[in-house]
Structure formats: structure tokens, C-alpha cells
């Protein structure tokens, strides 16, 4: 594992790392499926105000890392804390209430754009956190017309669908964003819009984001990039 900072980090706000607070901490985290080792002894902290990218070859465990943080995949060894809570059976629901997760899968069952947003907002762990009044602003920031919400989901492009799901997740009042390949269906202009919206959420509003990506454009906006 290689951990490095981007030269672009100079643009971010001073003291943005939250005065010692940590929204995500992994200590000596290892994950294997049978004889296949994905990552080993991974130490990682993500403080408020930081946009952190995770990249690496296909199959190295990037998606599994996000799923492990959410408690869907158990670590082989090591520990995870989210917003000061240890990842265990007792705290798993509280941890999911602190995280907004957008998986790479872009085909959730929905008939319209409104339904796509509702699928995110109506999840049990998300219901108290949805901020509908923020959605219109986020749609504009991501280059989407509000009228897309009324379109049939089958008429939405992959990029429109992806940005709607991102807008729904960003409108949740949660401190930690976990995003899996959020620009996989986007052109460069839309990718930059997503990156700038993420930077605003982190640098201006003190949230934190861990973003899995192969996209050099998106990774260039990150404060730090981790190579698995």
C-alpha cells in the first residue's frame, strides 16, 4: 500500500482536518477470501474535511474495503471505527446511520427519477437524515435539470442515473461518504462537477469522503490518494 498526497491539496481550507477528530479509522485491517489476500495490515484515518481516494488494480479489494467499513464483509483481522464507534454487532446500525454509501451498481429497481432518489432516502438507516430541500441545489451542482426526476428511469442515461443517486446520497445529513466508482458513467465535465461537489461537502461543511476510483480526473481532486 502506498499513501500519497496530491499537489492540489494546497487549495483546501486550513485546519480542515477537524481538530483531531476522525470519522473513519482502520487499524492493521486485513481481508482475505480463502487463500486470496486482498489487502493486509492497512492503517487508514479519514478526518473531517478530507476527500480521500482509493485506487489500485482490479480485484485488489477496493469495493470490499467499502463493504467492510459498512459491516457487510468481515475483516480477516484488524479493526474499524466510524465516528468513534467500533465496528461490531452492537454498533453496526449506528455506524450505517453515520455513512452515506453509493455502490457501483447503477440499475436499482425504479420507475422514475423520483423513485431512484426515494430508494436511497427510504432506507431504514437513511430515513432520519434525508434533506429534500438540499436536493434541488445538488441537482444543479451536478448538472442535472429537476425535470429529470419525472422521467422514466428507462429513459435516463447511465450518467444521469449515477448523478441522481449521488445527489440523493449527498443530500443525507451524514458525516461520512463512501463512494464506489462514482464517475464510472460520466464524461470529464460531469466528473469535475461531482469532484467539486465533494470538495464543497468536505472542505466547507466538514464532512469526509472515501472514494474508490480508477478515474485520474476524479483522483486529481482528492486531498490524499491511497494505492491498494
Asked if residue 16 belongs to a domain, the reply is: no
- pLDDT in the model for residue 136: 87
pLDDT digits (tens, 9 = 90+) for 48-66: 999 999 999 999 999 999 9
Question: Would residue 203 count as lying in a domain?
Answer: yes
pTM of the model as a whole: 0.87
Confidence of residue 128 (pLDDT cuts 50, 70, 90): low
Total domains present in the chain: 1
pLDDT at 101: 93
**Residue 47 located in a structural domain:** yes
Cβ-contact 25, 85 below 8 angstroms: no
The answer to the question of residue 15 being in a domain is no
**pLDDT value at 105 more than 60:** yes
Q: What is the pLDDT of residue 9?
A: 40
Is there a domain that residue 101 lies in?
Answer: yes
Q: What's the mean pLDDT when you consider all of the chain?
A: 87
Domain annotation covers residue 164: yes
Give the structural domain span for 91.
Answer: 21-227
Whether 7 maps to a domain, the answer reads no
Considering only 93-102, 103-112, 161-170, which range has the smallest mean pLDDT?
103-112
Q: Is 135 helix (H, G, I), strand (E, B) or coil?
A: helix
131 to 106, 121, 191: CA distances (angstroms): 22, 9, 23
3-class secondary structure per residue, 81-141: EECCEECCCCCHHHHHHCEEEECCCCCCCCCEHHHHHHHHHCCCCCHHHECHHHHHHHHHH
Contact 187, 158 (CB under 8 A): no
CATH number of the domain at 117, please: 3.40.50.300
Q: Is residue 124 part of a domain?
A: yes
Amino acid at each position: 500500500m502506498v499513501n500519497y498526497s496530491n499537489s492540489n491539496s494546497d487549495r483546501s481550507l486550513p485546519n480542515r482536518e477537524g481538530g483531531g477528530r476522525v470519522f473513519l479509522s482502520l487499524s492493521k485491517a486485513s481481508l482475505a477470501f480463502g487463500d486470496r489476500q486482498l489487502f493486509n495490515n492497512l492503517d487508514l484515518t479519514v478526518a473531517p474535511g478530507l476527500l480521500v481516494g482509493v485506487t489500485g488494480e482490479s480485484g485488489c479489494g477496493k469495493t470490499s474495503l467499502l463493504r467492510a467499513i459498512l459491516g457487510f464483509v468481515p475483516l480477516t483481522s484488524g479493526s474499524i471505527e466510524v465516528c468513534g464507534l467500533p465496528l461490531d454487532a452492537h454498533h453496526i446500525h449506528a455506524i450505517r446511520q453515520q455513512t452515506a454509501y453509493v455502490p457501483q451498481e447503477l440499475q436499482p429497481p425504479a420507475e422514475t427519477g423520483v423513485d431512484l432518489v426515494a430508494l436511497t432516502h427510504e432506507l431504514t438507516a437513511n430515513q432520519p437524515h434525508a434533506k429534500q430541500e438540499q436536493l434541488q441545489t445538488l441537482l444543479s451542482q451536478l448538472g442535472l435539470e429537476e425535470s429529470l426526476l419525472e422521467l422514466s428511469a428507462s429513459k435516463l442515461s447511465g450518467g444521469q442515473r449515477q448523478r441522481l443517486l449521488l445527489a440523493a446520497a449527498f443530500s443525507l445529513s451524514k458525516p461520512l461518504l463512501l463512494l464506489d466508482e462514482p464517475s464510472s458513467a460520466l464524461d470529464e465535465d460531469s466528473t469535475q462537477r461531482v469532484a467539486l461537489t465533494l470538495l464543497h461537502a468536505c472542505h466547507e461543511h466538514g464532512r469526509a469522503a472515501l472514494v474508490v476510483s480508477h478515474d485520474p480526473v476524479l483522483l486529481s481532486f482528492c486531498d490524499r490518494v491511497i494505492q491498494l
